[in-house]
């Protein structure tokens, strides 16, 4: 998320009432997570395991819960609870806007686009030309939809990321300020849920087709001309390169990459990143030929054990 106008390090520190390390006039341009930070951004870190990653990232301001040496060219915000303070900043720079109408006055809807009854279209939504939004679709704030897009009934675009911190009193949600971006010629089936990015974009590439009952997690990027069948769940921060095919009831770990033109057979658990141009099956995931051979050998195991026992006797 980029700020509407640059802020200073001192201004940001005063918003969350914390001390800082660096020039008070140090320019701050936005706030983002590790995987989408750019120069001028704030990134937060609250676990020693990720200190080095945060300090060496492209972010120029690190919101951290320990006093450490400040890398050259960067600044620090020292907080007793970076997770909480990141939420405070999100609320300040991207506050929730309640809607009073089914279709927000700030929404922009292109020529030839049809919106069926009982749809909700939130603030600052942009929908291109000649798209078709079927009944009972909910499109939350800041979503961007291209031309010739079809969205079937019951789908929700732009729900908050499933991102929580466990505390003694319960789970604390990291607030989402990102977007969903749907490119041209995408079809999305009924009752799909596509979460907005935490600070960046969840993106569905041009020409991709999604079946019914599909979940796409926050900040995931789906490439061009991908095909995803029903009841599949794509976790957050994944990358599906162009022309990936995913068959029914597939699930993925977060943060994995599926290479271009890979085929994932039904009921596979994508537990790690996989190369493109191959077909995969099983949990943990393997190339389908190797996995199917393994299953064929397992079916022979009872007969092998029986023969061994007979030979022993």
**Catalytically annotated residues:** 218
Residue 27 corresponds to which tokens in the numbers above? 């320019």
Residue 156 corresponds to which tokens in the numbers above? 């929700």
Q: In this predicted structure, what is the pLDDT of residue 300?
A: 81
The architecture (CATH level 2) of 108-288 comes to 3 Solenoid (2.160)
Q: In this predicted structure, what is the pLDDT of residue 302?
A: 84
Whether residue 208 contacts residue 229, with contact meaning beta carbons closer than 8 Å, is answered with: no
Mapped onto helix, strand or coil, the DSSP state of residue 228 is strand
**Record: fold of 2-93:** 3.40.1390
- Sorted by sequence, the CB contacts under 8 Å of residue 112 that are 6+ apart come out as 129, 130, 131
Tell me the C-alpha distance between 298 and 196, whole Å.
43
- Sorted by sequence, the CB contacts under 8 Å of residue 300 that are 6+ apart come out as none
Q: In this predicted structure, what is the pLDDT of residue 294?
A: 80
Among 201, 257, 260, 209, CA closest to 234: 257
Tell me the C-alpha distance between 80 and 129, whole Å.
48
Q: In what helix (H) or strand (E) does residue 85 lie, and over which residues does it extend?
A: helix 82-93
**Beta-strand pair 164-167/170-173:** antiparallel
- On the CB side of 188, how many CA atoms lie within 13 Å of its CA? 33
Q: In what helix (H) or strand (E) does residue 222 lie, and over which residues does it extend?
A: strand 221-222
What's the gap between Cα 293 and its chain centre? 35
- Sorted by sequence, the CB contacts under 8 Å of residue 257 that are 6+ apart come out as 238, 239, 240, 241, 273, 274
Tens digits of pLDDT across the chain (313 residues): 999 999 999 999 999 999 999 999 999 999 999 889 999 999 999 999 999 999 999 999 999 999 999 999 999 999 999 999 999 999 999 999 999 999 999 999 999 999 999 999 999 999 999 999 999 999 999 999 999 999 999 999 999 999 999 999 999 999 999 999 999 999 999 999 999 999 999 999 999 999 999 999 999 999 999 999 999 999 999 999 999 999 999 999 999 999 999 999 999 999 999 999 999 999 989 998 887 888 787 888 888 777 777 777 6
**Residue 57: is it exposed, middle or buried by C-beta count within 10 angstroms (0-12/13-18/19+)?**
buried
Tell me the C-alpha distance between 234 and 211, whole Å.
13
- The sign of the dihedral angle between the CA atoms of 19, 24, 26, 30 is positive
Q: What is the CA radius of gyration of the chain?
A: 23
Whether the model clears a pTM of 0.85, i.e. scores above it, the answer is: yes
Residue spans per domain, the chain: 2-93, 108-288
What's the gap between Cα 220 and its chain centre? 4
Q: In this predicted structure, what is the pLDDT of residue 313?
A: 66
pLDDT in tens, 81-125: 999 999 999 999 999 999 999 999 999 999 999 999 999 999 999
Q: In this predicted structure, what is the pLDDT of residue 304?
A: 78
């Amino acid at each position: 998320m980029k700020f509407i106008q640059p802020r200073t390090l001192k201004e940001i520190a005063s918003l969350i009432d914390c001390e800082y390390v660096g020039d008070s006039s140090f320019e701050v341009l936005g706030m983002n997570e590790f995987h989408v930070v750019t120069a001028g951004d704030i990134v937060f870190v609250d676990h020693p395991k990720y200190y080095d990653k945060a300090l060496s990232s492209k972010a120029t301001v690190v919101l951290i819960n320990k006093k450490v040496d400040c890398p050259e060219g960067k600044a620090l915000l020292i907080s007793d609870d970076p997770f909480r303070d990141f939420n405070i900043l999100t609320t300040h720079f991207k506050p929730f806007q309640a809607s009073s109408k089914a279709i927000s006055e700030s929404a922009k809807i292109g020529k030839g686009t049809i919106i069926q009854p009982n749809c909700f279209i939130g603030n600052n939504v942009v929908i291109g030309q000649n798209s078709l939004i079927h009944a009972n679709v909910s499109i939350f704030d800041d979503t961007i939809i291209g031309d010739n897009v079809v969205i079937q009934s019951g789908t929700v675009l732009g729900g908050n990321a499933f991102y929580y911190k466990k505390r003694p009193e319960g789970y604390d949600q990291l607030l989402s300020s990102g977007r969903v971006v749907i490119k041209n010629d995408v079809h999305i089936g009924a009752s799909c849920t596509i979460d907005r990015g935490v600070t960046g974009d969840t993106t569905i590439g041009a020409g991709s087709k999604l079946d019914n009952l599909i979940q796409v997690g926050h900040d995931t990027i789906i490439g061009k001309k991908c095909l995803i069948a029903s009841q599949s769940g794509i976790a957050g921060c994944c990358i599906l390169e162009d022309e990936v095919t995913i068959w029914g009831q597939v699930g993925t770990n977060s943060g994995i990459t599926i290479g271009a033109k890979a085929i994932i057979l039904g009921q596979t658990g994508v537990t790690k990143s996989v190369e493109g141009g191959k077909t995969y099956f099983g949990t943990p995931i393997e190339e389908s030929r190797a996995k199917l051979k393994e299953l064929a050998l397992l079916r022979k195991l009872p007969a092998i054990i029986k023969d061994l026992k007979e030979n022993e006797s």
